[in-house]
Amino acid sequence: MKHTLAVLVENKPGVLTHISGLISRRAFNIESIAAGYTEEPDMTRITIVVEADDKYELEQVVNQLSKLIDVIKIIDLTGQDSVHRELALIKVKAIPENRTELIGIVEIFRAHIVDVNKETMIIELTGEEMKIDAMCELLKDYGIIEIVRTGKVAMCRGPKAAKEV
Amino acid sequence: MKMTGAEAVIECLRQENVEVVFGYPGGAVLTLYDALYLAEYPHILPRHEQGAIHAADGYARVTGKVGVCIATSGPGATNLITGIATAYMDSSPVVAITGQVAVSLIGRDSFQEADIRGITTPITKHNYLVKDVKELPQVLKEAFYIARTGRPGPVLVDIAKDVFAAEIDFVYPQEVKLRGYNPIYEGDINSINEVYQELCQAKKPLFFVGGGLTLSNSSEIMRQIVSHTGIPVVSSLMGLGCIPDDNPHNYGMIGMHGTYAGNMATTETDLLLGIGVRFDDRVTGLLHEFAAKAKIVHFDIDPAEVNKNVHADIKVLGDLQWSLEKLLERVKERSNLEWQEQVAPWQQQLNNWKKEKPLTYNKNSEQVLPQMVIETVSEITRGEAIIVTDVGQHQMWTAQYYNFKHPRSFLTSGGLGTMGYGIPAALGAQVGAPDKKVICVCGDGGFMMNCQELMTIADLNLPVKIILLNNQVLGMVAQWQRKFYNHNYSHSSLKTKADFVKLSEAMGVPAVRLDKKEQLSEVLEKAITDEGPRLVEVCIPENEDVLPMVPAGARLDQMIMGG
């Protein structure tokens, strides 16, 4: 089962190395990892999507990551009421006769066209993983040139910050 | 107070009450070495950086204090790696200070540059790269704090060369605040109560103690629990000495080369209490059959150890000082007699196993056998020496046949299994415990991996006794080849023209060769009681096996017996 972990870490050099090193050394199955600044300048938030076979495996991931000195807190957002989003940029072939159809698809998915030229366009799409997968699947027929995805970020609903949970 | 970064490092060492550092100078640490020279700071110069880190580790294991070593950048730092990994696997508190090239040269593949922080990330509890002298006192304060608290471990501090020369207004921080590092000292009292309930119910309870007891200095409390309840106790390699070997409730080491009684008890127990152990594969054998009839309780300070290998039915997190003290209070609610009544049949069962198949070997052998050597050393020192081993067959024979009495009296590379650990670790141990007899048992393989430290031992006139069990083979490798690889002795022969006695004497350690059984006691006794360092080379047969043996991946009760 997939779990989404919010990992709050000190914003210090080497933290990402420590985390990625640990993940590879302990052979954890990581699906995505996304890091960025937060509301506190000395804190970075890393969202990790991890595949764990059972509760023991997940417990190991959390405990081992928690052991890293620069890891402040880990919150498992999987069971919680939370918003999960990922952003994707998709460069797709857009010959003139396909453009109308493509614009239609973009509208249905509430995506945006952020760049167009004679042959291609870049579509920006935000949403849950499945939505992005679905759109990519549809666009395949038109010829996808490249895809870049940020990896998932997530946040609990309700008034509290993850660090207070 | 204004001072240079190098002087600040020394001031930090003073504030941390570091008695001595083990180090090796080089380009990037020249400024630091100049400051050490001017401050006349106690420093020991091993002949290899690997010697320095193992010595710091040996010092730490014997004293319980943080061991400190220094090396220069690049190759100096990379020579520490085996020692850092050794310390990490056995949770030994060590601070390694390495020089790094100047800040402006970092990342340019400069002369003697290595990314030692990156390299040591998976084998340190934490590590730092200091590029700004202002961070230096805080980083060193944190390094010592992290190394010795919680579950101890090695911390590496890499310091850029120009930081040593930069000026700083030195203030040593009084406290450490790390949001992400809060060891659990006091756990959940309910877990203790739960354990107590289980203990009262169990028919075949078994304590399984490990290195955590030594690290937390709680062997004494454990001894009280054992003597009050009479519950049998077995040990991991790292736990030897926590409960004296002559304690009637102690059934010795379990695992691959464990005792018959110990391994059978582990197979049959209905309540296994792991105390400061990490259920290494050398202990568990076939993991899913390990203690299969038992509920498992796991006491540890490190939450990540629980459920890592063996799934625990009850976890007791926290410092063993705390949890065992609480457990002792609870078990005292019942009288010694009540406990005795409860566990008597189980004790009887263990004693039968012990009587049926004790540790044994061919005592009538004409040749000197390694087990005899260890037994003789044990008798001569009456279990009061600090025994340091290298890794291999001799390590297991020492674990089996030396009669340990005290915690911190058996130093061995348990987790990593580092050949070459013995001699430098014995050096460090002797520095840490100058009044104790320190005896290093090693084989002819591992001996050569760090024998340069004989020179250091001789020059400092450290009275370390080295017992070199020479079977002219890589014994453990050959044993596996004999048992599982069709007697194909692929590159495990060490037959040589070299003369270990001469080699030792050339480095300044008086040495003697021993090959007659009749001389065994006399020669060993003399070497051990003589002043100053001594080496005794004991010639032993090459095909002696360490037994019992549980083949890798087999169940613990599937032992190959011997004797």
Spans of all domains in chain B: 2-169, 189-356, 370-539
**pLDDT value at residue B562:** 79
Residues A31 and A49 in one domain: yes
- Subunit contact B121:A56, Cβ cutoff 8 A: no
Q: Are B304 and A21 in contact (CB < 8 Å)?
A: no
The burial class, CB within 10 Å (0-12 / 13-18 / 19+), for B385 is buried
Alpha helices in B366-452 (DSSP H): 370-381, 393-401, 422-432, 444-449
Residue B182 has a CB neighbour count (10 Å cut-off) of 11
- Examine residue A163 and state whether it is found in any structural domain, yes or no: no
Residue B34 pLDDT level (bands cut at 50, 70, 90): very high
* Distance (Å, whole) CA B124 – CA B84: 7
C-alpha span between B432 and B20 (Å, rounded): 9
- Judged against a pLDDT cut of 70, whether residue B563 lies above it is answered with no
Compare all CA atoms of chain B with the CA of A14 and give the residue at the minimum distance: B118
Summary count for chain B: helices (H), strands (E): 23, 20
Sign of CA dihedral B513, B517, B518, B523: positive
B2-169: CATH number: 3.40.50.970
Cβ atoms of A34 and A46 closer than 8 Å: yes
Distance, in angstroms, between B119 CA and closest chain A CA?
A: 10
Query: Chain A contacts of B125, Cβ < 8 Å?
Result: 69
* Cβ-based contacts of A52 with chain B (< 8 Å): none
pLDDT digits (tens, 9 = 90+) for A115-143: 999 999 999 999 999 999 999 999 999 99
Q: Identify the burial level of B6 via C-beta atoms within 10 angstroms of its C-beta, where 0-12 means exposed, 13-18 middle and 19 or more buried.
A: buried
* A23 vs B238, more confident: B238
Q: For residue B67, give the nearest of B176, B148, B122 by alpha carbon.
A: B148
> Is B359 in a helix, a strand, or coil?
coil
The strand pairing partners of B22, in sequence order, are B44, B69
Quote the mean pLDDT of chain B: 97
Q: How far apart are CA B209 and CA B514, in angstroms?
A: 36
Contact B304 A60 (CB under 8 A): yes
> What is the C-alpha to C-alpha distance for residues B238 and B241, in angstroms, rounded to an integer?
9
> Is residue A106 domain-shared with residue A145, that is, in the same domain?
yes
pLDDT recorded at residue B152: 98
Q: Say which residue the tokens 């670790």 belong to.
A: B425
Looking at residue A47, its pLDDT comes to 96
Is there a single domain that holds both residue A70 and residue A94?
no
- Among the three residues A27, A50, A76, which one is the final residue of a domain in this structure? A76
Residue A19 placed within a domain: yes
Neighbours of A42 (CB within 10 A): 12
Percent residues over pLDDT 70 in chain B:
100
Rounded distance, CA B202 to CA B334, Å?
14
CB pairs under 8 A between A and B: 43
Residue from B62, B66, B13 nearest B42 by CA: B13
Q: Do residue A111 and residue A56 come from a single domain?
A: no
Question: What would the DSSP string read from start to end of B218-267?
Answer: -HHHHHHHHHHH---EEE-GGGTTSS-TTSTTEEEE-STT--HHHHHHHH
Catalytic residue IDs of B: 49, 111-112, 161, 476
Q: In chain A, how many domains are there?
A: 2
CATH of segment(s) B189-356: 3.40.50.1220
Given strand A71-76, what is the order of strands in its sheet? A29-37, A43-51, A2-10, A71-76
Does the N-terminal peptide bond of residue B46 adopt cis geometry, omega within 30 degrees of 0? no
Q: Which of A9, A38, A46, A69 to mutate to test the interface with B (most CBs of B within 10 A)?
A: A69
Q: Residue B559: pLDDT band by 50, 70, 90 thresholds?
A: very high
Decide if A17 and B121 are in contact by the 8 Å CB cutoff: yes
Average pLDDT over residues B80-87: 98
pLDDT tens for B365-420 read: 999 999 999 999 999 999 999 999 999 999 999 999 999 999 999 999 999 999 99
At what angle are helices B320-331 and B219-229 packed, to 10 degrees? Answer: 20
> What is d(CA A56, CA A37) in angstroms, rounded to the nearest whole number?
30
Per-residue tokens: A13: 């050099």
pLDDT at res. B387: 98
Q: What is the CATH number of the domain that holds A136?
A: 3.30.70.1150
- Please report the DSSP string for B258-310 in residue order: --HHHHHHHHH-SEEEEES----HHHHSSGGGTTTTSEEEEEES-GGGTTTSS
**Distances, alpha carbon B214 to alpha carbons A9, B299, B385, B408, B410, in Å:** 32, 14, 16, 7, 10
Report pLDDT digits (tens) over B226-249: 999 999 999 999 999 999 999 999
The superfamily in CATH containing domain B370-539 is Thiamin diphosphate (ThDP)-binding fold, Pyr/PP domains (3.40.50.970)
Contact B23, B6 (CB under 8 A): no
Taking the CA atoms of residue B331, residue B335, residue B337 and residue B343 in that order, the dihedral angle to the nearest 10 degrees is -20
Nearest to B26 by CA among B59, B67, B66, B75: B75
- pLDDT for residue B64 is more than 70: yes
Chain B residues inside the 8 Å CB shell of A67: 302, 304
pLDDT digits (tens, 9 = 90+) for A49-99: 999 989 999 999 999 999 999 999 999 999 889 999 999 999 999 999 999
Distance CA B119, CA B106 (A): 15
Domain shared by A103 and A132, yes or no: yes
pLDDT in tens, B421-478: 999 999 999 999 999 999 999 999 999 999 999 999 999 999 999 999 999 999 999 9
Choose among B117, B302, B307: nearest Cβ to A14.
B117
- The verdict on residue A147 lying in a domain is yes
Question: How far does the CA of residue B180 sit from the closest CA of chain A (Å)?
Answer: 4
Q: Which domain holds residue A72?
A: 2-76
Span B477-523, pLDDT tens digits: 999 999 999 999 999 999 999 999 999 999 999 999 999 999 999 99
Q: How many C-beta neighbours within 10 Å does residue B107 have?
A: 10
Chain B residues whose CB is inside 8 A of the A59 CB are 307
For B317, other C-beta atoms within 10 Å of its C-beta total 21
pLDDT of residue A134: 96
Q: Are residues A6 and A70 in the same domain?
A: yes
Please say whether the beta carbons of B517 and B367 come within 8 A.
Answer: yes
Return the structure tokens found at B206: 């078994």
Q: Across the interface, do B308 and A60 touch by the CB < 8 Å criterion?
A: yes
Strands B43-44 and B94-100: unpaired
pLDDT at B113 > cutoff 70: yes
